[in-house]
Amino acid sequence: MKNTVTNILVVGVGGQGVMTATEILAEAAISLGHDVKKTEVAGMSQRGGVVSSHLRFGPRVLSPKIAPGEADIIVGFESAEALRWSHYLRTGGMVLMNTARLVPPVVSGGLYPYPADPQAEIRARGIEVHAFDAMAIAKQLGDMRLGNSVMLGAIADHLPFRAEVLLESILQRFQARKPEMVELNRRAFTAGRDAIAKLARAELLAPSFA
């Protein structure tokens, strides 16, 4: 029997907005009538620790946790974190990652090395990777906080539903909380979407849920 539950794993560092991004993805899935479960492994994550947010949706979701080898997509907000969680991906799954690096004190203090090229390491594991600098796009748009919408835009064409559904969830959220940010977030979403489309064209890769 085909497993009809979609598993999206969003990973990054505390403070990057990982949990908010997953919440928006969850809202999009709910708007389509899916059953949804979302769970975080966030040990004291607000203090710069590792954050992984699991989102599962489909007709009926039982366990909230994605098992290693079962994620359809990994969305990496930080390079080394995308690599750390890459074994959660299923065969044929896809990693979409930000190339930004957040170096923790244990690394900058010389106790551990930062992986030389996380993107290449993931690819070497036989995984389809799309990597781009989401923070540079956000900076270009004038606000680092837009990185979240850039990342969501980037995965929008790799979901089992239309990109517009996700965009609508983002815009609704800002309409309710910060209406003055609606337009900027729309632009950030589109910029992220375009960046990945360009990458995909360049690499001649088809979206996994096409």
Contact residues for another protein, defined by CB under 8 A: 3, 13-15, 23, 26-27, 30, 35-50, 61-65, 67-70, 80-81, 83-84, 86-91, 103-115, 121-122, 125, 139, 142-145
Return the number of the residue (88 or 189) whose C-beta is nearest another protein: 88
Q: Which is nearer to another protein, 139 or 162 (CB)?
A: 139
In this structure, what token pair is assigned to residue 196? Answer: 């990945």
Q: How far is the CB of 66 from another protein (least distance, A)?
A: 9
Q: Which is nearer to another protein, 81 or 156 (CB)?
A: 81
Give min distance, CB of 13 to another protein, in A.
Answer: 7
How far is 27 from 121, CA to CA, in rounded Å?
33
The nearer residue to another protein, 71 or 159, going by C-beta atoms, is 71
d(CA 196, CA 97): 10
As a whole number of angstroms, the distance between CA 123 and CA 64 comes to: 28
The minimum distance between CB 48 and another protein, in angstroms, equals 5
- Least Cα distance to 186 among 177, 173, 203, 201 occurs for 173
Q: Rounded CA gap, 52 and 60, in Å?
A: 22
**Distance in Å, CB of 202 to another protein, minimum:** 26
Dihedral of alpha carbons 199, 153, 34, 52, sign = positive
Contacts of 186 (CB under 8 A, 6+ apart): 167, 170, 171
- Minimum CB separation of residue 201 from another protein in Å reads 28
* Nearer to another protein (CB atom), residue 33 or residue 210: 33
State both tokens at 34.
């899916």
